[in-house]
């Protein structure tokens, strides 16, 4: 049995509420599936049915038709849902079919509404499964290294000014802490003096030029008198 045996069905409650669905199974099997899902799921449909009991609900055929895939059966189901969009008795809360743009929009809206809960849940999971999270991230990076690096470079080039501004603001807000951390890191690095010496020798000319530029900025010269201005 495949999509050539597609069906649009309707769950009808004795109090007038109803729900549209689609399936390629027989209606008896689909009803059993709904009853099993209602034990754990908390959608508007199952919340309502639990309040009235399954004895007050029956399933009926709306339309039989043939199609080729899941998308087509969902689109057909969506036609019925859309026709009852403004009916308060309709228990369908989401469309059966949505474009990629619509899915992205709904995902974004859901995240914004539940942002704090999602972040807290992710934080707890990361703490509990720290080793596994690190391993998964490492595996994903190794598998997608070239793509990720390319996207990272593209993002930096596209947002260069914003990134520089953000970094500057972060530094100004955390200047004391960052400087203290840097000094502590140098203090605990036994090779720091040698590294600094090698760097100065290698970049002596550039360092001197920067010093000269800084001096000129802080000690402007009066060209006419060839002496520092007062």
Q: Which residues have C-beta within 8 Å of that of residue 23, sequence separation ≥ 6?
A: 6, 7, 9, 29, 30
Mean pLDDT estimate for the chain: 89
Helices (H), 38-174: 44-52, 70-83, 100-113, 115-128, 130-143, 145-158, 160-173
Q: Is the pLDDT of residue 219 over 90?
A: no
Query: CA dihedral in degrees (33, 44, 23, 60; nearest 10)?
Result: 90
Give residue 1's pLDDT: 61
The CATH superfamily assigned to 3-97 is GIY-YIG endonuclease (3.40.1440.10)
Q: How far apart are CA 144 and CA 139, in angstroms?
A: 9
Are 217 and 209 in contact by the 8 Å Cβ rule? The answer is no
Q: What is the dihedral of CA 131, 136, 138, 142, to 10 degrees?
A: 160
Segment 101-113 mean pLDDT = 84
The per-residue pLDDT for 224 is 54
Please say whether the beta carbons of 192 and 186 come within 8 A: yes
Distance CA 76, CA 205 (A): 74
117 - beta bridge partners? none
Strand partners, 60: 10
What's the mean pLDDT in 198-221? 84
Residue 179 tokens, joined? 């400087």
pLDDT at 223 over 60: no
- What distance separates the 2 farthest-apart alpha carbons in the chain? 104
Q: What is the pLDDT of residues 45-63, one digit of tens each?
A: 999 999 999 999 999 999 9
Share of the chain above pLDDT 90, in %: 55
Q: Which pLDDT does position 75 carry in this prediction?
A: 93
Q: Are 12 and 18 in contact (CB under 8 A)?
A: yes
Q: Is the pLDDT of residue 137 over 60?
A: yes
Residue 64 has pLDDT above 70, yes or no: yes
| Segments making up each domain of the chain, as ranges | 3-97, 115-158, 200-228
pLDDT tens digits along 143-192: 999 999 999 999 999 998 999 999 999 999 998 998 998 888 888 888 88
């Amino acid at each position: 049995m495949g999509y050539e045996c597609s069906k649009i069905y309707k769950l009808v409650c004795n109090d007038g509420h109803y729900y549209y669905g689609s399936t390629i199974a027989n209606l008896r099997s689909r009803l059993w599936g709904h009853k099993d899902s209602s034990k754990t799921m908390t959608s508007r449909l199952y919340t309502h049915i639990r309040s009235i009991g399954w004895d007050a609900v029956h399933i009926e055929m709306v339309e039989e038709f043939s199609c080729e895939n899941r998308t087509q059966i969902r689109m057909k189901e969506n036609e019925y849902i859309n026709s009852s969009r403004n009916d308060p008795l309709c228990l369908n809360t989401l469309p059966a079919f949505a474009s990629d743009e619509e899915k992205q929009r709904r995902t974004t809206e859901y995240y914004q509404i539940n942002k704090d809960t999602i972040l807290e849940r992710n934080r707890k999971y990361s703490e509990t499964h720290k080793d596994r999270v690190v391993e998964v991230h490492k595996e994903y990076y190794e598998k997608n290294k070239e793509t990720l690096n390319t996207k990272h470079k593209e993002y930096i080039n596209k947002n260069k000014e914003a990134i520089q501004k953000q970094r500057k603001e972060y530094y100004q807000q955390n200047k004391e802490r960052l400087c203290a951390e840097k000094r502590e890191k140098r203090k605990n690095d036994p090779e720091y003096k040698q590294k600094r010496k090698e760097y100065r020798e290698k970049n002596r000319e550039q360092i001197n030029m920067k010093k000269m530029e800084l001096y000129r900025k802080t000690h402007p010269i009066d060209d006419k008198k060839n002496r520092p201005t007062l």
